[in-house]
């Protein structure tokens, strides 16, 4: 919708992100703002939002279901939810890529039983609650999405079916074992603030565009 405000946080990308985004100005109320590390870019976008809900999307995802956003908003309003996410589908790549993302989806559903886990690829937030929790911790450069979502009450969290498509670029850059081990260590250290503040070298040699808000 042309009235929908879209904020693209661009961290000096070299793939013409700014130029491509602004091509849609006639269809969307779109702006490009300075980005940075994911937490910084997302927070800067959120600071400009004045709507009841904020949707965070990674730059490389594609909605698998055109009704997903509408259904998330309806569910959030109906059940007074603070944070919603969806399942992640690796459309390209091999069976190991698909298996690891399926494990990610399983972990999200299991988080209903313990502490919510929402992926930064798709996070719909109640704006007031987002800022009440302080937004994304800007000193955390890896799993900042998990760190924030785990502060949400379980009854105020939901995983909505429909999904987003992503690529296997993270596995190509880091390798399956490293990504899997990093994910497992993060889940095991959910309580440990110092762990999240360490430099896990996740963005080393990372040339992709950073997430947008």
Task: Return the pLDDT at 54.
Answer: 97
Going edge to edge, which strands form the sheet with 157-166? Answer: 53-57, 122-126, 83-90, 157-166, 62-63
Q: Show Cβ contacts of residue 96 under 8 Å, excluding neighbours closer than 6 positions.
A: 171, 176
Mean pLDDT of the chain: 92
207 pLDDT higher than 90: no
The yes-or-no verdict on residue 205 having pLDDT over 60 is no
pLDDT exceeding 90 applies to what percent of the chain?
Answer: 80
Whether the Cβ atoms of residue 86 and residue 72 lie closer than 8 Å to each other: yes
Fold of 53-197: Spore Coat Polysaccharide Biosynthesis Protein SpsA; Chain A (3.90.550)
pTM: 0.91
Q: Domain coordinates of the chain in residue numbers? A: 53-197
More confident residue, 36 or 159: 159
Q: What is the pLDDT of residue 2?
A: 66
Euclidean distance between CA atoms 168 and 91, whole angstroms = 8
Say how many CA atoms lie within 13 Å of 180 toward its Cβ.
11
């Amino acid at each position: 919708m042309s009235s929908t405000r879209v904020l693209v946080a661009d961290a000096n990308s070299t793939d013409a992100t700014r130029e491509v985004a602004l091509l849609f100005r006639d269809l969307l109320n779109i702006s490009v703002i300075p980005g940075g590390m994911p937490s910084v870019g997302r927070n800067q976008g959120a600071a400009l939002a004045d709507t009841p809900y904020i949707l965070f999307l990674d730059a490389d995802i594609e909605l698998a279901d055109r009704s997903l956003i509408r259904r998330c908003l309806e569910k959030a309003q109906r059940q007074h939810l603070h944070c919603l996410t969806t399942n992640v589908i690796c459309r390209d790549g091999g069976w190991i890529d698909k298996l690891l993302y399926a494990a990610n989806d399983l972990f999200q559903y299991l988080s209903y039983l313990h502490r919510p886990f929402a992926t930064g690829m798709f996070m719909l937030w109640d704006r007031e609650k987002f800022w009440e929790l302080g937004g994304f911790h800007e000193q955390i450069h890896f799993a900042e999405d998990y760190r924030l979502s785990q502060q949400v009450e379980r009854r105020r969290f939901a995983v909505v079916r429909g999904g987003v498509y992503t690529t296997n670029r993270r596995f190509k850059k880091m390798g399956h074992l490293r990504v899997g081990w990093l994910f497992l260590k993060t889940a095991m250290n959910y309580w440990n603030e110092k762990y999240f503040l360490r430099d896990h070298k996740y963005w080393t040699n990372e040339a992709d565009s950073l997430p947008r808000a």
